Amino acid sequence: MALVLVWAAELAVFALVVAGILAERPLPLAATGLAIVAAAVGLRLRPGLRRALVAAFVAHRRAALAGGALLALALPLALRASPYWTFVAALALLYVTIGQGLNLQIGTAGVLNLAGAAFAGLGGYSVGLLTVTAGWPAWLAVLAAPWVAVIVGTLLFVPILKTRGHYLALVTIAFVFIFNILMNNFEFTGGPQGIKNIPTLRLFGWPFTAKPSLLGVELPAHANFYYAALVMASLTTLVLRRLHDSWLGLTLNTLRDDEIAARCCGVSITRGKLLAFCIGNFFIGLGGALYAVMVGFVSPPDFDFGYSLVMLSVIIIGGVDSIPGVVLGACLLLPLPERFRFLHEYRLLLYGLVIVVMLLYRPQGLWPAAIRRYR
């Protein structure tokens, strides 16, 4: 019974999301909006239902995850009419990967990193240089590129990691600016034009520009990247979930909460922060690398300070240090502005306002981090 409830709830969310994305004419649009509002109000007014749902999800965790995975796999089928939305969905999944990396740094370890865009850019530019200039195959470049972000991050930040919040913020902001100026002015990175014609991914002879078909239905070419990003985001989330629950995650939490107390308990601050910083940068760089092969070109404006803020917002909206929160934040924050295209001009303004309001009234995020449970 509870199992049916879980799957029914997941299916309902899936249907609402797809309808919300695809409804164009006024009548379906109004119906979808009403349904979403009704569902929200219903959950608010019927605490019994809410508790039953939570209990069902807790009791059937594996079934819920399996159902969610199945629906995530099926999403391109539902969106097959719109290559654009398939692309947006893939982008949201890239931000899940990036957000998880950043969340490990900021949320778990308290290492403030406002240079997310620059580290994603290091990944993206490395892919561009390795494939276009050095002639590597794309998949090898995507696997190698994150290490560039890790190495550059380590070299630059080892001396500075010891400094506290404000200064680390300043240095990382300055790093984004330096990265942008350098990319704009170096010859070998193509200057303001960036690097064009990055070859697409090719796995076992299957080019990612070809249209795949699933269950006999032809999908847009971007579905390839959707599935690649889905695999990447799931693996990242799984790895970081395990890491967060391990002794290392706990150590990093103590660092974040009280450095002095942590030191007194024998935690090495530099080592912990450096570890979190490197692991985080790896995933941020990985997201940037896949972005480069997905879009096919990289240029400086793709990685400017504004994107650092978008990455941060993903964490804040979802919930700082909350792994499911990051997934929720990315899946809300990336598609929503695309849906409301008529608000496009006001997009960044609204981002800013939403973050301020969130910080003032719900600083723990939409899906707050759960208290650690030890069994």
Partner 1 sequence: MPPLELLLQQALNGVMLGVMYALIAVGFTLFFGVLDVIHFSHGDIFMLGAFAGLSALLGLKAAGVAGAALALPLAFAAAMLVTGLVGVAAERVCVKPLARSSPLMTLLATLSLGLVLRESVLIFYPRGADPKPFPQLLPQGGVEVGGVAIRYENLAILAIGFAAMIAVDRIINRTRMGAAIRAVAQDPEAAQMMGVNLDRTVDATFFLGSALAAVAGILSGLYYSEIHFIMGITGGVIGFSAAAIGGLGNVYGAIVGGLLFGVLQTTAAALIPRGSEFRDVVAFAVVMLFLVFKPSGILGEKSVERV
Question: Tokens 């070859």 belong to which residue?
Answer: 199
277, two tokens: 């910083």
Which residue's CB is nearer to partner 1, number 93 or number 309? 309
- Integer Cα distance of 53 and 6 in angstroms: 7
Is the CB of residue 224 less than 8 Å from the CB of residue 161? no
Task: List, in sequence order, every residue forming a beta bridge with 206; answer none if it has no partner.
Answer: 203
Q: Residue 11 or 178: which CB sits closer to partner 1?
A: 178
Q: How far is the CB of 192 from partner 1 (least distance, A)?
A: 11
Distances (CA, A) of 200 to 80, 228, 302: 21, 12, 18
For residue 106, the minimal CB distance to partner 1 (Å) is 7
CA distance 326 to 369: 10
- Choose between 131 and 308: whose C-beta lies nearer to partner 1: 308
Residue closer to partner 1 (CB basis): 182 or 210: 182
Distance (Å, whole) CA 320 – CA 338: 24
Say how far apart CA 133 and CA 139 lie, in whole Å.
15
Q: How far is the CB of 239 from partner 1 (least distance, A)?
A: 24
- Which CB, 8 or 261, lies closer to partner 1? 261
Q: Which residues bind partner 1 (CB under 8 A)?
A: 106, 110, 112, 114, 156, 159-160, 163, 165-167, 169-171, 173-175, 177-178, 181-182, 184-185, 260, 264, 305-306, 309, 312-313, 316, 320, 345-346, 348-349, 351-353, 355-356, 359-360, 363
Q: How far is the CB of 163 from partner 1 (least distance, A)?
A: 5
Residues with Cβ < 8 Å from 282, sequence gap 6 or more?
101, 146, 147, 149, 150
| CB 346, min distance to partner 1, A | 7
**Computed from CA positions of residues 10, 14, 15, 20, in that sequence, does the dihedral angle turn out positive or negative?**
positive
> In whole angstroms, how large is the CA radius of gyration of the chain?
21
Smallest distance, partner 1 to C-beta of residue 287, A:
20
Residue with Cβ nearer partner 1 (25 or 166): 166
One-letter amino acid at 321 equals D
| Nearer CB in complex with partner 1: 109/138 | 109
Q: What's CA 309's distance to the chain center, in Å?
A: 13
Cα 300 from Cα 44, distance rounded (Å):
45
Distance separating alpha carbons of residues 341 and 343, to the nearest angstrom? 5
CB of 137 to partner 1, least distance (A): 33
What is the identity of the amino acid at 22?
L
| CB of 232 or CB of 311, closer to partner 1 | 311
Query: Whole-number minimum distance, CB 120 to partner 1, in Å?
Result: 18
Residues near 319 by beta carbon (within 8 Å), at least 6 away in sequence: 325, 326, 328, 329, 364, 365, 366, 367, 368, 369
Q: Is 10 helix (H, G, I), strand (E, B) or coil?
A: helix
Minimal distance, residue 128 CB to partner 1, in Å: 21
Output 3 or 356, the one with its CB closest to partner 1: 356
